[in-house]
A and B are shown apart, each in its own frame.
Chain A
Amino acid sequence: MSAPAAATAAVPSRFKPGDPVAVRQAYPPGHIRTPWYVRGRCGTVVHALGPFPNPEELSYNRSGLPAQPLYRVRFRQTEIWPDYAGNRRDTVDIEIYQHWLEPAGDAR
């Protein structure tokens, strides 16, 4: 018999606030919430938001389970846009699901 839904419903979380992460540089088809402009870029986890159903599955009317941990990841503008003209400390915070993140070596 299958385990209770609660035990299998979420992927274990891999990251915590402060962790440096890199966004996967991948371009799969389908309903993807990871913005194009941040793929392949490095940032820092600022909030772990808990598990949420995977929108890539929900968009095809599937359950979205197991749920993916969702994080708010902070990127320096100069990491995303090398020619960024404003303050070098300016940032963008983006919600990214765990399966789009990999550990990165430096926190930028």
Chain B
Amino acid sequence: MTDPLSAAHAHPHRHPPRPDTDDTLGHYQIMEIAIRELLIEKGIVTPAEIQRAIEAMDARGEALGARIVARAWTDPVFKARLMADGTEAVRDFGVDMGTTRLFVVENTPAVHNMIVCTLCSCYPRMVLGLPPDWYKSRNYRSRAVREPRGVLREFGLSVPDDVEVRVHDSTADMRYLVLPLRPGGTESLSAERLAALVSRDAMIGIAFARNP
């Protein structure tokens, strides 16, 4: 039998946009349920294994990313490793990036970084958990590369005109994490206190780290 996916997709047209609705089950949601039930019926996976995988996914969250940022702020050697090879450096935190790689981009007084995936919703899940709904929205994905300063203003972030806004379109194998600027007046804070200043949004680049 020929590969049904290839046969079905070897055609030169653009797929129409799918509406962003979740009030009814779509084709792929129904397919996911059907395949999951089949895998369970055939004894390939158990419901408990699926539940554990979901719990592991839910357990990853922004707190992990914030700890990584706080360590980079307080440990120059770790920061150098993180910037040179993020994938390797975050192994210190027990993070396995799988088939992707972590690429850390650093905000400076001259450059503000922000992350988007215009193609789908690629996101550094291994260090930030599941992406927020707005990150996956067509609105954010299309406008972040077209009018990033307007999008940032809508998030309440005003980046000075003379600061370069650098958007990273996460289109392939890298997963991006923004290393925010360390707020002033935090020299005496512990890494633990610093981590509390680092929000998920600051690590996507649509916010600054909080002042203490």
Could you tell me which A residues sit within 8 Å of B by CB distance?
29-31, 33-35, 37, 49, 52, 55, 60-61, 70, 72, 74, 77, 80-81, 85-87, 89-97
Chain B residues with CB below 8 A from A34, complex form: 171
User: Does B42 touch A at the CB level, under 8 Å?
Assistant: no
Name the residue on A nearest B152 (C-beta): A86
Among residues 82 to 132 in chain B, which have CB atoms less than 8 Å away from a CB atom of chain A? 101, 103, 118-119
CA distance A98 to B117 in the complex (A): 20
The answer to whether A94 and B3 touch (CB under 8 A), given A29-B10, A29-B11, A89-B164, is no
Sample 23 A-B pairs with CB under 8 A, ordered by A number: A35-B118, A49-B173, A55-B172, A61-B3, A70-B173, A72-B103, A74-B166, A77-B148, A80-B145, A86-B165, A87-B149, A87-B163, A87-B164, A90-B164, A90-B165, A92-B168, A93-B167, A93-B168, A93-B169, A94-B169, A95-B170, A95-B172, A97-B172
CA distance A70 to B101 in the complex (A): 12
Contact size range, B: 20 to 34
Contact B172 A30 (CB under 8 A): no
Q: How many A-B residue pairs have CB under 8 A?
A: 87
Closest 3 CB pairs of A and B: A95-B172, A29-B12, A86-B149
CA distance A34 to B172 in the complex (A): 9
CA distance A34 to B118 in the complex (A): 10
Among residues 1 to 58 in chain B, which have CB atoms less than 8 Å away from a CB atom of chain A? 3, 5-6, 9-13
Pick the contact of B174: A29, A30, A72, A92 (CB < 8 A).
A72
Contact A90 B169 (CB under 8 A): no
A74, A80, A93 — most chain B CB neighbours (10 Å): A93
User: Does B162 touch A at the CB level, under 8 Å?
Assistant: yes
CA distance A85 to B165 in the complex (A): 12
Could you tell me which B residues sit within 8 Å of A by CB distance?
3, 5-6, 9-13, 101, 103, 118-119, 145-150, 161-174
Chain A residues with CB below 8 A from B169, complex form: 35, 92-95
Contact A85 B3 (CB under 8 A): no
Contact B119 A35 (CB under 8 A): yes
CA distance A61 to B145 in the complex (A): 31
